[in-house]
């Protein structure tokens, strides 16, 4: 019952007992009514303030830097409400390399990205730069693609491959050189790593001659690269006169570049496309124990070259990496070593690097 109603009833009852109410009684009653209403309003306002504090205070505390809000407890969870948990990521390569790059191969150990572990591979394979696929070549004209543990094998269709393959930058395709004797043809085959199917592209060998006919990729994965080379002074020597690029889908020639050496893979190209680190084709060596020492950094537009100490991959337009002597070295664009990172690899084994 509202106070005003109670007050009126009380006054009516008192009026029945008294012939005439005193002015003082009525005034005191009205004053008392106003006091009760004021107290009730203060009580309601105080409750509202407490409710606002209850909502705002936790938000203000949790919004301070360094304070992490606890996740809501799952239904049936025995973890006390408000207890904090911390998850620490597991690194996939020792030391942490620039740009998040990782060692995907060190000797006979190949990185399984899904688990972050290195798996020993019996039959030496060629790991994809990304993903968990591995190219295995039991013979010159035989090839199959598996995961790093040997599972989910896919046999590559026989197509006359020369036996040298290069992974695309995204790890979903490979390219290999092709030859045919009768009639004589030279070309390349693009392999779908998921199915093993091959798309064959023949080139005009008179217009674009090659010696070893090694093919690799441009960094964007849209073009195939081949060194145009003429033999001179017998079959043992050759001279590279430039690079010819072809459309990876159609096989059509796209552009010629004044780069007189062969890139080792798609990441030999700088991200901005201005430079490429190149050297002898695979299978050639000019140093002791079959090593290759002659590497250059080329300006793609002008063909101007400067000596470069190693074959390397570009992490950014100014940072490169190379695996050598059991460690990974970080290089500047001019080849200066700025950092070495131990990766637990034997000094005489191959180190292959891949993007994050």
Find how far residue 66's CA is from the centre of its chain.
Answer: 28
| Cross-strand partners of 215 | 226
Predicted confidence band at 122 (pLDDT cuts at 50, 70, 90)? confident
Residue range 10-27, pLDDT digits in tens: 445 444 443 443 433 334
> What count of Cα atoms within 13 Å lies in the side-chain half-sphere of residue 166?
29
Spell out the SS3 assignment of 163-204.
EEEEECCCCCEEEEEEEEECCEEEEEEEEECCCCCEEEEEEC
Residue 337 has pLDDT above 70, yes or no: yes
Predicted confidence band at 202 (pLDDT cuts at 50, 70, 90)? very high
First to last CA, the chain: 73
| Cross-strand partners of 295 | 308
- How many Cβ atoms from other residues are within 10 Å of residue 261's Cβ? 20
The structure tokens 């901005």 sit at: 272
Which of residues 255 and 39 earns the better pLDDT score?
Answer: 255
Residue 275 has pLDDT above 60, yes or no: yes
Residue range 43-61, pLDDT digits in tens: 444 444 334 334 333 333 3
Q: Return the percentage of the chain with pLDDT > 70, whole number.
A: 67
Give the contacts of 236 (CB within 8 A, at least 6 positions apart).
Answer: none
For residue 11, what are the CA distances in angstroms to 1, 6, 21, 344? 15, 9, 9, 97
Which of residues 21 and 351 earns the better pLDDT score?
Answer: 351
**What pLDDT is stored for residue 142 in this prediction?**
85
**What pLDDT is stored for residue 84 in this prediction?**
28
**What pLDDT is stored for residue 278 in this prediction?**
97
Which of residues 255 and 89 earns the better pLDDT score?
Answer: 255
- Show contacts of 170-177: CB within 8 Å, 24+ apart: 170/129, 170/130, 170/221, 171/128, 171/129, 171/130, 171/131, 171/133, 172/131, 173/221, 173/248, 174/135, 174/145, 175/215, 175/216, 175/217, 175/224, 175/248, 176/143, 176/215, 177/212, 177/213, 177/214, 177/215
What is the rounded distance in angstroms from the CA atom of residue 70 to the CA atom of residue 109? 40
Q: What is the average per-residue pLDDT within 317-340?
A: 96
pTM higher than the cut 0.85: no
| Dihedral angle computed from the Cα positions of residues 52, 53, 58 and 64, in that order, rounded to the nearest 10 degrees | 110
Q: Which of 218-222, 286-290, 318-322 has the lowest mean pLDDT?
A: 286-290
| Dihedral angle computed from the Cα positions of residues 146, 152, 153 and 159, in that order, rounded to the nearest 10 degrees | -90
Q: Which of 51-65, 214-228, 242-256, 292-306 has the lowest mean pLDDT?
A: 51-65
What is the rounded distance in angstroms from the CA atom of residue 278 to the CA atom of residue 258? 12
Max mean pLDDT range (194-208, 222-236, 280-294): 194-208
Residue range 125-165, pLDDT digits in tens: 999 999 999 999 887 778 999 999 999 999 999 888 987 89
Spell out the SS3 assignment of 243-276.
EEEEECCCCCEEEEECCCCEECCHHHECCCCCEE
Residue 62 has pLDDT above 60, yes or no: no
**What pLDDT is stored for residue 104 in this prediction?**
96
């Amino acid at each position: 019952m509202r106070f005003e109603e109670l007050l009126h009833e009380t006054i009516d009852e008192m009026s029945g007992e008294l012939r005439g109410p005193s002015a003082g009684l009525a005034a005191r009653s009205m004053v008392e009514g106003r006091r009760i209403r004021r107290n009730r309003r203060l009580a309601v306002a105080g409750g509202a303030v407490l409710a606002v504090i209850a909502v705002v205070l936790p938000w203000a505390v949790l919004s301070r830097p360094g304070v992490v809000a606890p996740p809501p407890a799952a239904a049936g969870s025995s973890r006390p409400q408000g207890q904090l948990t911390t998850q620490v990521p597991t690194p996939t390569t020792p030391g942490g390399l620039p740009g998040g790059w990782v060692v995907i191969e060190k000797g006979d150990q190949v990185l399984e990205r899904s688990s972050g572990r290195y798996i020993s591979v019996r039959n030496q394979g060629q790991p994809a730069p990304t993903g968990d696929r591995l190219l295995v070549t039991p013979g010159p004209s035989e090839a199959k693609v598996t995961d790093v543990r040997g599972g989910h094998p896919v046999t590559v269709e026989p197509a006359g491959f020369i036996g040298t393959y290069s992974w695309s930058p995204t790890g979903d395709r490979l390219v290999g050189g092709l030859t045919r004797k009768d009639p004589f043809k030279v070309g390349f085959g693009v392999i779908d790593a998921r199915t093993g199917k091959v798309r064959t592209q023949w080139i005009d060998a008179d217009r674009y001659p090659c010696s070893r006919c090694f093919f690799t990729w441009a960094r964007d994965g849209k073009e195939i690269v081949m060194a145009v080379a003429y033999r001179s002074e017998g079959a043992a020597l050759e001279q590279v006169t430039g690079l010819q690029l072809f459309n990876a889908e159609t096989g059509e020639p796209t552009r010629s570049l004044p780069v007189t050496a062969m890139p080792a893979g798609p990441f030999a190209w700088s991200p901005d496309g201005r430079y490429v680190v190149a050297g002898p084709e695979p299978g050639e060596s000019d140093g002791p124990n079959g090593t290759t020492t002659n590497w250059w950094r080329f300006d793609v537009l002008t063909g101007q070259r400067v000596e470069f100490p190693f074959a390397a991959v570009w992490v950014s337009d100014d940072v490169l990496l190379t695996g050598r002597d059991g460690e990974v070295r970080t290089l500047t664009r001019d080849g200066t070593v700025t950092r070495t990172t131990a990766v637990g690899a034997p000094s005489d084994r191959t180190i292959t690097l891949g993007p994050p």
